[in-house]
Chain A
Amino acid sequence: MNGQPSVLEKVVAFVDERIGLKTLQAKMLNEPVPGGSRWAYVFGSCLLFIFIMQAVTGILLMFYYVPSADHAYASTQYIIHEVDYGWFILSYHFWGSSVMVVMVFAHMSQVFLWGAYKKPRELVWLIGLALFGLVMAFGFTGYLLPWDQRAYWATTVGVEIMDKTPLVGDFMARFLKGGPTPGQMTLSRFFVIHVMILPAALMGLAGLHLFLFRKAGPAGPFRGSVEELRARTDYFFPRQVWKDVVAMGAVFVTICSLAFIEPVVLLEEATPDPGDYHPEPEWYFLFLFQMLRLKMFSGELGQFVAGVAIPLGFMLFLASLPFIDRSPERNIFKRPIALVGWLIVMTGILVFTISAIINREFLD
């Protein structure tokens, strides 16, 4: 056997000869990480991992789920109560979406605080923002699919908010609902958006995001001399890959634990009479929901400001950030406006979310 290549080695050699596999693999793994691998860099890999798991669990759910107003609820109940481990697959998918939102916030915060959106990484940042929008759209459209009261009312209110966009709002809301009120057409539309359009868009944009990131190269730490960085530089593999894999494992265990501890339980089947149910969106939209309760955002104009202008304006602001903030300084402790701004936004979201939860008790 000595000296003779094994079958596996022959297969690898066969493929390598045709597509240059080894060079490709070397290029993928040998990416210098300036200043060395860090735990702070794991969020992007975690997001990719969560997305793949969402795709897998989502496809599994489609083995039983029927996107029709008379079967969506029953088929979801069937998945939860009858199908072996159906409750787990569904709960994993549900909690996976929440963890994905948390990871998106962590990833964006890391990039923001490290000043990694600045030249030459503007395009990576812009595509990242589009991906953020896609993740939120995934959450919003997926929420309707079980067709229970929670689903129905979150969608009703969410689409009404979109309706407040000037000029195109009415068209957008009717387009999404497939009519004047939510029903079968809404379910069909949300379904195709959730399982076809968004995944295709996300795969394309995530690929572009990674490509642009590799083109621009990792930003590395925001302080340290060139000599210090050079001394600590390593390749993506193995140290960063190791950290990424450990973080993915932690994410997986977290989602599984949440699915076990708090499995998905449906409310009554969707109907335009809310009964005793107090409509509320998923937790990551709570801050927006709470903002709309404020007196200052009352009336037609107020709703437009809180529901459309502020979120849209904030996204536009983030998109223009690398073009406004052109100082090459990346150290967050030397960018007081950025640091304070980040703290204000995070605190604001936290305060509004908590006050929405406190309001919940006051209503019951």
Chain B
Amino acid sequence: MQPKLKSKVRCADREVGEVTRVIVDPLSREVSHIVVGDGAGALEREIPAAEFQTVTEDAVQLRATSSEMTQFPAFQREGYVTIREVEIAHLEDHLHVEAGEVLVPVPELERNVKRRTFFTNFTHAIGFLLALPLAFPVLKYVMKPMYAPFDNRWIKIGNAGKIKAEDVGVQFKFKKSVKEAFMPEAEVDKNVWVLKASPVVLEGVYRGKDLEFKDHSGQVIWTNKRDVPYVAYSGKCPHLGCGYKWRNVPKLGRQIFLCPCHLSIYDPSGKVLDGPAPRPLDPVPIRVAANGEIEIIDVEFKAGTRAQIRIV
């Protein structure tokens, strides 16, 4: 039990006064001392907790005799602050020194309220009903631009005359016009890599099958014929969507596609030679006119998946 304020303090022989203050240790949060005075402003003394023999509801019994009281130091108020002026975590949990409870009356109207739980639940229900009709509109509001139809336009990217050798990656940069939501129509730079493929490489790309490209609905919009020697790869690395380059690597003794981001390496047929890429380079729909003009459809696939999942 902790000593209480105003409790009587008794020495072995007689009563010496009352508890005027309680001192708490900020680390252990336990009562470390009491201050004993006669309540009339006479000298107060600090008595350590070790001196307590017994502590009851209204009295503290000390081991010392009244004549020994002078050995305890006089209480110096300036050495302390009140617990209102300092922040000690969980002090209240440890402290039970109040002289008694301090009370305020409960308002008359609150005294006989029934169904408190009902009111609480009803408040929650109203909040829920207010929020519910908002959830779907808000979700649709933020989802507005997330799913756009595929863009199946053919885009002119340049002339095949630029390609001088077989199985060499040649970058074709092109401008693509985009019209996004409320924005004015703008042009963005994009690129594809075009290859005039030898029969061996062509076989590596098509594996004996024509390559179909589909719309949302699954309808085929174009088929790359396996005997057309021009192959165009999307400029987007199938690993995580960076732009890859055509590089001569003397150590390998050959030229390869290299992505500088995570170092995926592809051979001219798009096959992954090394690095983290989950699938080969993505061929895009290509058609070459008699005069050598190349057109493509700028399809894009989701990066990082084993399967090709068209997103643009």
Task: Tell which of A273, A279, A295 has the most Cβ of chain B within 10 Å.
Answer: A273
Interface size on B, residues (CB 8 A): 53
Across the A-B interface, the 7 shortest Cβ-Cβ residue pairs: A217-B89, A274-B243, A298-B276, A273-B189, A26-B85, A30-B86, A180-B311
| A156, A171, A273, A294: the one within 8 Å of B241 (CB) | A156
Identify which of A126-134, A258-266, A299-307, A333-341 touches chain B.
A299-307
Query: What residues of chain B have their CB less than 8 Å away from a CB belonging to chain A?
Result: 25-28, 81, 84-90, 142-143, 145-148, 173, 178, 180-181, 183-184, 186, 188-191, 235-236, 239-243, 260-263, 274-278, 300, 302-306, 311-312
Determine if A8 is an interface residue (Cβ-Cβ < 8 Å): no
Identify which of A11-19, A103-111, A225-233, A311-319 touches chain B.
A225-233
Determine if A183 is an interface residue (Cβ-Cβ < 8 Å): yes
A96 to B239, CA, bound (A): 32
A273 touches B190 (CB 8 A): yes
A177 to B300, CA, bound (A): 15
Identify which of A81-89, A138-146, A160-168 touches chain B.
A160-168
Q: How far does the Cβ of A186 sit from chain B's closest Cβ, in whole Å?
A: 10
B86 touches A26 (CB 8 A): yes
B312 touches A180 (CB 8 A): yes
Chain A positions within 8 Å of B25 at CB level: 230
Chain B positions within 8 Å of A298 at CB level: 275-278
Chain A positions within 8 Å of B188 at CB level: 271-273
Chain B positions within 8 Å of A229 at CB level: 27
Query: What residues of chain A have their CB less than 8 Å away from a CB belonging to chain B?
Result: 23, 26-28, 30-32, 34, 68-70, 120, 153, 156-157, 160-161, 163-164, 170-171, 174-175, 177-181, 183-185, 214-217, 226, 229-230, 233, 235, 271-275, 278-280, 289, 292-295, 297-300, 302-303, 359, 363
Closest to A364 in B: B260
A69 touching B260 in the complex, CB below 8 Å, given contacts A273-B190, A302-B276, A303-B278: no
A160 touching B184 in the complex, CB below 8 Å, given contacts A175-B146, A180-B311: no
A215 to B26, CA, bound (A): 14
A300 touches B304 (CB 8 A): yes
B89 touches A216 (CB 8 A): yes
A32 touches B26 (CB 8 A): yes
A226 to B29, CA, bound (A): 12
Q: How far does the Cβ of A97 sit from chain B's closest Cβ, in whole Å?
A: 22
Closest to A229 in B: B27
A177 to B307, CA, bound (A): 22
A292 touching B86 in the complex, CB below 8 Å, given contacts A157-B241, A164-B304: no
A303 touches B276 (CB 8 A): yes
A26 to B81, CA, bound (A): 10
A174 to B89, CA, bound (A): 46
Q: How far does the Cβ of B290 sit from chain A's closest Cβ, in whole Å?
A: 28
A183 to B243, CA, bound (A): 17
A23 to B186, CA, bound (A): 61
Chain B positions within 8 Å of A174 at CB level: 146-147
A-B contact pairs, 24 of them (CB 8 A): A27-B85, A28-B87, A32-B27, A69-B180, A153-B242, A163-B304, A171-B146, A179-B146, A183-B178, A184-B183, A217-B89, A273-B235, A273-B243, A275-B189, A275-B243, A279-B261, A289-B262, A292-B240, A297-B276, A298-B277, A298-B278, A300-B306, A303-B240, A359-B263
B304 touches A303 (CB 8 A): yes
B173 touches A273 (CB 8 A): yes
A160 touches B304 (CB 8 A): yes
Closest to B147 in A: A174
A70 touching B184 in the complex, CB below 8 Å, given contacts A214-B87, A279-B243, A300-B305: yes
B243 touches A300 (CB 8 A): no
Chain B positions within 8 Å of A185 at CB level: 145, 180-181
Chain A positions within 8 Å of B146 at CB level: 171, 174-175, 177-179
B261 touches A271 (CB 8 A): no
Closest to B26 in A: A32
Chain A positions within 8 Å of B90 at CB level: 120, 215-217
Q: How far does the Cβ of B258 sit from chain A's closest Cβ, in whole Å?
A: 8
A233 touches B85 (CB 8 A): no
A184 touches B181 (CB 8 A): yes
Chain A positions within 8 Å of B311 at CB level: 180-181
Chain A positions within 8 Å of B180 at CB level: 69, 179, 183-185
A32 touches B278 (CB 8 A): no
Closest to A227 in B: B27
